[in-house]
């Protein structure tokens, strides 16, 4: 009987170790999603003060995959250097072209969207109802895989051009009926 308990515990431990490995790979995948979004969206020249300004990603709040984003900093997306800043305060992000917000910042973000202060910004999150409330891309974890939804109306309002390649990969696309 004593050995039977050990036989039952070992598979549970192996499954928990396996789920941690999946969790790390999902974190890495989320970081790659954001980097690829940056490559597949075009910002108007008005989004930058100078032609040489970097493409800046502001990460706000508790974002568990931030460590997988940092190795991408310093690479170039088109002619612009990709830079990353992290903050726990939405008001202290400064000027950025991509804004990723953690769940802990959601109430603050919804107020900011309504104020209209986030023009020329690709907003990305993993929050339920994010694109319905003005966000542009929401990363979702379905049973089968990690995917994303896009709000094309919000992207257009922000002056952003989303490539057809990115649109074709989206799980759901929100847009006004034409």
In this prediction, residue 133 carries a pLDDT of 84
CA distance 151 to 2: 56
- Locus of tokens 């900011």: 112
Answer yes or no: is pLDDT of 101 > 90.
Answer: no
- pTM of the predicted structure, to 2 decimals: 0.82
More confident residue, 127 or 109: 127
In this prediction, residue 113 carries a pLDDT of 67
Answer yes or no: is pLDDT of 30 > 50.
Answer: yes
Mean pLDDT of 80-98: 88
In this prediction, residue 18 carries a pLDDT of 33
In this prediction, residue 117 carries a pLDDT of 63
């Amino acid at each position: 009987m004593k050995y039977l308990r050990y036989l039952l515990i070992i598979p549970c431990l192996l499954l928990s170790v396996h789920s941690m490995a999946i969790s790390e790979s999902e974190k890495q995948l989320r970081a790659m999603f954001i980097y690829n979004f940056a490559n597949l969206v075009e910002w108007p020249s008005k989004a930058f003060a100078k032609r040489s300004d970097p493409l800046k990603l502001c990460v706000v709040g508790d974002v568990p995959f931030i460590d997988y984003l940092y190795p991408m900093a310093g690479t170039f997306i088109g002619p612009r250097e990709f830079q990353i800043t992290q903050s726990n305060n939405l008001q202290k992000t400064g000027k950025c072209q991509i804004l990723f917000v953690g769940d802990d910042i959601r109430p603050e973000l919804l107020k900011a969207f309504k104020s209209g202060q986030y023009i020329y910004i690709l907003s990305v999150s993993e929050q339920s109802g994010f694109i319905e409330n003005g966000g542009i891309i929401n990363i979702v974890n379905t049973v089968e895989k990690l995917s994303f939804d896009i709000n094309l109306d919000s992207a257009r309002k922000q002056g952003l051009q989303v490539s057809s390649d990115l649109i074709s990969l989206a799980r759901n696309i929100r847009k006004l009926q034409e």
